[in-house]
Amino acid sequence: MSHTTSHELTRLQRARKQHEQIKMRLRLAGTSLAQVARDLGVAPTTVTSVSQGARRSRRIEATIAQRLSTTAAKLWPDRYATATRHDLVSLKSTGGDAPSLTSN
């Protein structure tokens, strides 16, 4: 087994564990990934793929985080680690669904 393969396996194991923890936390909060899918009008497999880390959707990530009373950056720090304030402001100014950086 090569070093890359071992690293990839570890990453997949972390993603799987994180996905299971998200599902558990949603159940404890009285909801589910399937409910998130229904509320957003997307396929349940799409929400599962985002939770597992196979796909990205800021809208789905934000909805899951909101249901868990946290932020997407706290649930998936590796996905948001490289986002800078400039990136977030750029997304906001172009209509992206980044969180607001200004207080209202």
Q: What is the pTM of this model?
A: 0.70
Contacts of 82 (CB under 8 A, 6+ apart): none
Helix/strand/coil for 96: coil
Q: Which amino acid is at 7?
A: H
Integer Rg of the chain from CA: 15
pLDDT tens digits along 10-66: 888 888 999 999 999 999 999 999 999 999 999 999 999 999 988 999 999 999 999
Cα separation, 67 vs 75, whole angstroms:
12
Which domains occur in the chain, in start order? 3-93 (1.10.260.40)
22 CA to centre of own chain: 10
